[in-house]
Chain A
Amino acid sequence: MNSTYSVVAVAVVALVTVVIGAFGLRISRTTSDFYVASRSVGPFWNASAIGGEYLSAASFLGFAGLILAYGADMLWYGVGWTAGYLILLVLVAAPLRRSGAYTIPDFAEARLESVPTRYVSTLLIVVIGWLYLMPQFQGAGLTLRTATGAPAWAGGALVASVVLVSVVAGGMRSITFVQAFQYWLKLTALLIPLVLLVRFWVGDGSPTPAEAGGTDWSEWLTPLSGRDHSLYRTYSLMAATFLGTMGLPHVLVRFYTNPDGRAARRTTLLVLGLLGIFYVLPTAYGVLGRIYASDLAGSGRTDAVVLELPARVIGGTTGELLGALLTAGAFAAFLSTSSGLAVSVAGALSQDLLSRRFSAVTAFRLATAFAILVPFVLAVSVDDINVATSVGLAFAVAASTFCPLLVLGIWWRGLTPYGAVAGLLGGGLASGGSVVATLADVAPSGLAGAMLNQPALWSVPLGFALMIGVSLASRRHVAPNVNRMMVRLHTPEHLDVDRGGWTPEHR
């Protein structure tokens, strides 16, 4: 594979990201600019940015790879990632905005009036963020290796440094524009090669995998076949993706970049449309990959299917150019998700660890470096597993910890700090332990293995049960001002009650 086009494509994406980031530098001066882009972003740009940030390496590469390997069952990743947004909108988005808190730790402290709950939440934000960043760097390594033959760490290092530069320079406002641009780049990068691939496929006599020498078509198309305990796995995956989205650190903060609640709803609607359109594309790549590249499933390199298809199917200069376009799109995916996560993890770290020793902006910049370096080191030292599977684990941890905290915190006045901490730690240790077992590849086979690979179906109920049980046992410790907080959470958005006017600058 001629690597010149791909190198140029990656360089252009990286350069544009840094340039737009630097442009944002002149605009963002205050802390509020850094965190929420001064609440001045319109629905269309905000939705594109959310889409750009949300569609990570897992959606761009991993999802198609899983479709290639396991077929129809894996549609649940795409559906779950989309439906998770809907649940976030209906159950928690509006009350959380009204609480005046910027992040989950802010919410935990404000609602439960407890500083320890805040610190446990911060710890979990960092863990989930790192778990999610790690596969982005691994995906970058894989992409650069596929395109140019560079060593596996090089792609990760490139993404880490570009993110570091653009986040440190511009904060949230500039990355809003970067990410909006990256959504459209990702969509185009998948769409154009796909149109040409499908034309080739039709011209080729529309072969099925059976004719093309692949494995059986019917088992692959039938849900719940081909993997052990697939019914359990499917339900668990649904629990993780449906309930985990609301707990992802980079997702919630985006709702604050809308000027009001109505704009936030319009944004969500646009996001669902953008995500729904997007997920059809990697599905099609997975199907075509089954026909033309089924050997990838056997060699365990399914993540590369999107990148390799044009060269295999079309070939020649056209194939190389299309491959370069896909490589560019993949890098857009790594960069946008990583910058969003880096901002969120850095925000949590700088507020709670560094803000007393340094000025706000210095603390944020130091924290950004820390937020990126740790998962980068993890990415080069852990064996590659499918990036979508790896991201699925981050969803499972978020669903087992922050989903109970947010849902109970918003809708049940009986939640106490003791219950919250017990649920966060219990759900976090159960799902986190499963993640470690899966990453270290020590999970046994059979049902126990399936339960460790996809923990959400048992760890989410565990988190809820601990929070409710311990709260009932510590009923005397309900937050003293809980009634006023409940009014604040459930009073219509544009009612001008005193919501506390709480912003990071006032800390």
Chain B
Amino acid sequence: MSFPVTDELPTTKHEAYVRVFDDPDFKELRKRYSTFVVPMTIAFLVWYFLYVVCSNWAPDFMSTKVVGNINIALVFGLLQFVTTFVIAYLYAQFARTKLDPLATRLREQFDEEVGK
């Protein structure tokens, strides 16, 4: 069992690697990724936990009836599915418009450098 991870890469490619890592575009790419993902992750966790918090500390609010026997808890619960999808959609949009163009530019630079 041998892994190419531990194999030596051709020097040109390896140096190109390091330069990619130090490239401002690459730094910007990582920054953009984390400025989107970190707040979003926190936001959706808060949103999910809010349901449990409301259920535990505001049961009267949660059992308020909206229509017939449908109460706020049930509506809240179904909304969780919808938000999951909305967040994933936002992420895909973000990746397509904000991450992909930068990544493409990096690839072009890299190809030029390695002389592919």
Contacts and interface: CB of A to CB of B under 8 A. Distances in A.
A29 interface: no
Given A79-B48, A280-B78, A268 B88 contact: yes
B50 interface: no
Q: Is the interface of A mostly helix, strand, loop or mixed?
A: helix
Contact of A507 (B1, B16, B88): B1
Q: Is the interface of B mostly helix, strand, loop or mixed?
A: helix
A223 B56 CA distance: 8
A168 B103 CA distance: 40
Interface string B58-100: 0100110000010101100110111011011101100110011
Contact of A481 (B6, B16, B41): B6
Given A221-B63, A501-B4, A495 B20 contact: yes
A221 B71 contact: yes
Contacts of A481: 5-6
Contacts, number: 155
Contacts of B51: 223
Contacts of A72: 73-74, 77
B104 to A, nearest CB: 7
Interface residues on A, range: 35 or more
Contact of A495 (B9, B30, B110): B110
Interface residues on B, range: 35 or more
Interface string A386-400: 000000000000000
A217 B71 CA distance: 11
B84 A495 contact: no
B91 A90 contact: yes
A475 interface: no
Given A262-B100, A495-B20, A484 B73 contact: no
Contact of A86 (B26, B49, B55, B88): B88
Interface of B: 1, 3-7, 9, 13-14, 16-18, 20-21, 26, 29-30, 37, 40-41, 44, 48-49, 51-52, 55-56, 59, 62-63, 69, 71, 73-74, 77-78, 80-82, 84-85, 87-89, 91-92, 95-96, 99-100, 102-104, 106-107, 110-111, 116
Interface of A: 72, 75, 78-79, 82-83, 85-87, 89-91, 109-110, 113, 115, 208, 217-218, 221-225, 231, 234-235, 238, 242, 262, 265-266, 268-269, 272-273, 276, 279-280, 480-481, 484-485, 487, 490-498, 500-502, 507
Given A91-B41, A276-B85, 5 more contacts: A231-B56, A242-B48, A265-B95, A487-B17, A495-B106
